[in-house]
Structure 1
Amino acid sequence: MRILITGGAGFLGARLAREILKRGQLNGQTVTELVIADLFPAPADMLADPRVKGHAGPMLEQGDLFKSGFDGVFHLASAVSGECELDFDLGLRSNVDSSRLLLDSIRSSGKASRLVFASSVAVFGPDAANPMPALVADTTLPTPQTSYGTHKLMIEYMVADYTRKGYIDGRAARLMTVAVRPGKPNGAASSFFSGIIREPLAGTATTCPVDAHVSHPISSPGNTMHGLITVFEASREAFGGRMALNLPGLNVKVSDMLAALEKVAGPAVRARVTFEKDERIAAIVDNWAKACTFERAHALGLRADASYEAIIEQYIEDCKTRPGYPAEALSGLK
């Protein structure tokens, strides 16, 4: 079985790749080759595995690779929310144009790959003609209020239509915000959801750019990977149609996250987080879903993380055992 992961050198892509390599198979078939396509080279430990082939460079220059025929594709490559707001053309190239190239290349290969597209909860937003409900469901009409969310929705529809035509066996899964991520903040407006946990655990003071009452659905990296693989392995009938589903997340407030941090790591660690509102980020986040429901994912056996304390504990364990987590990540616990 030949598998492609776009964005496979990034945090989520590399974690997904390592999980697939560890399992050794998908849907009962042995994975013989795992191709990592990203702007940057894949981590050295992954490239050392003889099953892994790395391809670094812009997606728009990798059409020949995408035409080479794959049994399965996980499409994670994306410019993130903050980047897309600051550079409109970059977002279109990195998200929409690259995805069109990928889909057309698979179509021209003549092999109808099973493809999972990592969409986002950012496809939902308030609109005067379509007020956003308190609980966003799989069937809620998406009206995104950011370029990033708009791109994700456009690609969802492309995946659905290429599936309708039989060019791919596509399924799109809307990721909730994934936390806690290691390393430094990225350009995503949601980056602070990880930062208010990660930085205090590393012994660094940080600011939260939104109010404590802000609510949002969150999923751990491990649970998110489990969701993507489950969606890939689901039959067409079990997935239920061509349109995207919501992957499960915990509907939590910022105040809940900080209370969980204090419970797990103590009041001194929690005290390293203060509030300093960033109007640009707050305005973006204010247009996001406050909470979601996950009926279709539940039908596949998927569930949210047990608690936000469990999400923090997973991050602490990952810092001790996983590649890609800096040695000083838990220095604030000493």
Structure 2
Amino acid sequence: MHVMILGAAGMIGRKLVERIAREPSVLSGAISRLTLIDAFQPPVPEALQAVSTALTIDLAQAGVADKLIETRPDMIFHLAAIVSGEAEADFDKGYSVNLDGTRALFDAIRQQSLKSTYVPRVVFASSIAVFGTPFPEVIPDEFFATPLTSYGTQKAIAELLLADYSRRGIFDGIGIRLPTICVRPGAPNKAASGFFSNILREPLVGKEAVLPVSENVRHWFASPRSAVGFFVHAATIDTAKIGPRRNLTMPGLSALVGEEIEALRRVAGDKAVALIKREADPVIERIVAGWPTQFDASRASALGFKAETNFDQILQVHIEDELGGRIA
């Protein structure tokens, strides 16, 4: 089986590759070829060196997607994107990366399918940012997509494309609407949602973090470990069980920022909480105000997707996976 991962240098992409390295049969078949692609050099675990090719390219550039799909990968994970804050700040780049690159990929698959039978599984990283206010208290899968950011709009358009190309039998697609992933490892990025992780990750290692919104902000969360689990399950699920509505809102945890902070207090004490500095940011407040807060993800749950149920679990995942089981 030839597996291709676009966005393999990103946080979830790296963790997905690491999962494959630890569990070679996790995608329900032996991997004979693994192609890792990103705008930055994707790392390749030693266990996968013999079957892997790592490429540094821009999917949105003319002809790139066609050359990639000429190799006819059996399974494609499309995780490549620029994050919400950057997509909002740079209109052209957001549409180029998040929409044009996706359309080029999907149509490259279509061109291959016209030559001879070719129907790969495509797993696409979407986002709960496809939804916009006003919201009901709990948002069902059937709620209409009216995004209030450019990032959400780009993801919503890609969801429609994925459903249409799947309906026409061009590929077998499934879109994964990710919750905000927390706690993200590494340095802060340009995502508007980055502070949700920053106020936990930095204090756990004795560093200050800035909270730009009220503690009463509520949001929808899952850990990086759960996110990788979503993609692995999506890659192996019988899509006949999903039907024509190919984009699924993933299970998660609805929690207040204040509940995040109290979980941090339980795990690391008052000293860690004191490292959180309140500095209001009107731009971040405006973006976050248009985001959903709680979902009915019963459809995805019934299909076998799973996530954490409290913030103590999310913190424990971060401590185990990123801090070697220890905190400062």
Residue 240 (1) aligns with residue 240 (2): no
* C-alpha RMSD over aligned residues: 1.6
Partner of 1:167: 170
Partner of 2:16: 16
In structure 2, stretches of 5+ residues that fail to align are none
Contact 2:141 / 2:249 at 8 angstroms: preserved in 1?
Answer: yes
With normalisation by structure 1, the TM-score equals 0.92
Give the distance between the partners of 1:252 and 1:227, measured in 2 at CA: 20
Partner of 1:35: 35
**Deviation, structure 1 residue 241:** 2.5
Contact 2:173 / 2:246 at 8 angstroms: preserved in 1?
Answer: no
**Deviation, structure 1 residue 242:** 3.3
Query: Counterparts in 2 of 1:95-174, with a 5 A limit?
Result: 95-110=98-113, 111-126=118-133, 131-174=134-177
Partner of 2:4: 4
Give the distance between the partners of 2:151 and 2:59, measured in 1 at CA: 17
Identity %: 37
Residue 294 (1) aligns with residue 292 (2): no
Partner of 2:318: 315
**Deviation, structure 1 residue 46:** 5.5
Contact 2:44 / 2:54 at 8 angstroms: preserved in 1?
Answer: no
Give the distance between the partners of 2:137 and 2:320, measured in 1 at CA: 34
Partner of 1:271: 274
Partner of 1:188: 191
Residue 55 (1) aligns with residue 62 (2): no
Number of residue pairs the alignment of both structures matches: 321
In structure 1, stretches of 5+ residues that fail to align are 323-329
Q: Deviations for 1:93-139, whole angstroms, at most 9, x for unmatched residues?
A: 0011000111111122222110011100000111xxxx321211111
**Deviation, structure 1 residue 26:** 4.8
Give the distance between the partners of 1:222 and 1:101, measured in 2 at CA: 29
**Deviation, structure 1 residue 161:** 0.6
* 3-state DSSP of counterpart to 2:45: helix
Distance 1:239 1:185, change over 3 A: same
Q: Deviations for 1:209-267, whole angstroms, at most 9, x for unmatched residues?
A: 11000000000000111111112211122223333111111000000000000101111
* 3-state DSSP of counterpart to 1:232: helix
Q: Which residue identity is paired with 1:41? A: Q
With normalisation by structure 2, the TM-score equals 0.94
- Following superposition, which runs of at least 4 residues in structure 1 exceed 6 angstroms of deviation? none
Give the distance between the partners of 2:12 and 2:138, measured in 1 at CA: 26
Give the distance between the partners of 1:240 and 1:276, measured in 2 at CA: 46
Give the distance between the partners of 1:192 and 1:4, measured in 2 at CA: 31
Distance 1:321 1:49, change over 3 A: farther
Give the distance between the partners of 1:79 and 1:91, measured in 2 at CA: 7
**Deviation, structure 1 residue 305:** 0.4
Partner of 2:213: 210
Q: Which residue identity is paired with 2:306? A: R
Distance 1:27 1:38, change over 3 A: closer
